Amino acid sequence: MSGMYGEIALELIKELDRHKGKLPPFQENELRQALDEMQILFEQNQRDVSMNIPGNPEFLAALHLRHAALERNKQCILAYLYTRLKVITDLRWDHGPVIPAEVRANMTEQEVQFFANYNKTLANYMGSLGENHGLDLTQDLKPPKTLMVEIRVLQDYGEFELEDGTSVLLKKDSVHFLPMSQCEALVQQKIVEVVQKQKSLHQK
Partner 1 sequence: MSPTPEELEFFAGQEELEIMPRFDCPTMWLISGDLGPFKAGIPNKVPLWIALHLRAQNKCKIIPPPWLSKAYLEQLKELEIKSPLFTKMPSEHYMAMAKMIFEVCPQDIPDADCVKLLIKDIWDSRMSKLRTAVLTFIDKGASWAKVDNLTQLEMCSIRPFFTHSLEQLHRFRKTIQVARLYSAGNSSEEVRRRLRM
Partner 2 sequence: MSTKELRKSFSPSYFALEDILASQTRVPCKTEMNLANCGFLDPSQENKDLAAGTQVELPIWAARVMSKQKRAFVSLRMPKFYSESYREVLKAEPAVVDLNKMGPHYYQSALQLCTLPSDEADKIAESLPDILQKRVIAMADSYSLHRSVKSTDDISNQLGNSLKFHNMDPLEVEIFNNSKNASEELDDWLRS
Figure out which of the listed residues 49, 78, 129, 175 binds partner 2, where binding follows CB under 8 A. 78
Question: Which of partner 2, partner 1, none sits in contact with 79, Cβ below 5 to 8 A by type?
Answer: partner 2
Residue 22 sits in the site that holds partner 2 (CB under 8 A): no
Residue 133 sits in the site that holds partner 1 (CB under 8 A): no
Provide the mask over 119-148, with x wherever binding to partner 2 is found by CB under 8 A and - wherever it is not: ----------------------x-------
Q: How far apart are CA 162 and CA 113, in angstroms?
A: 30
Three-state helix/strand/coil letters over 107-154: CCHHHHHHHHHHHHHHHHHHHHHHHHCCCCCCCCCCCCCCCEEEEEEC
Give the SS3 label for residue 159: strand
State how far the alpha carbon of 105 is from the alpha carbons of 23, 24, 46, 111, 118, in Å: 10, 10, 40, 11, 18
Q: How far apart are CA 68 and CA 95, in angstroms?
A: 40
Q: How far apart are CA 12 and CA 7, in angstroms?
A: 9
Residue of 156, 155, 148 whose CA lies nearest to 183: 148
Residue 200 sits in the site that holds partner 2 (CB under 8 A): yes
Figure out which of the listed residues 14, 18, 47, 199 binds partner 1, where binding follows CB under 8 A. 199
Figure out which of the listed residues 90, 156, 161, 193 binds partner 2, where binding follows CB under 8 A. 90
- Return residues touching partner 1 (CB under 8 A): 142-143, 145, 198-202
- Return residues touching partner 2 (CB under 8 A): 1-6, 10, 13-14, 16-17, 21, 48, 56-62, 64-65, 67-69, 72, 75-76, 78-79, 82-83, 86, 89-90, 93-94, 141, 196, 198, 200-203
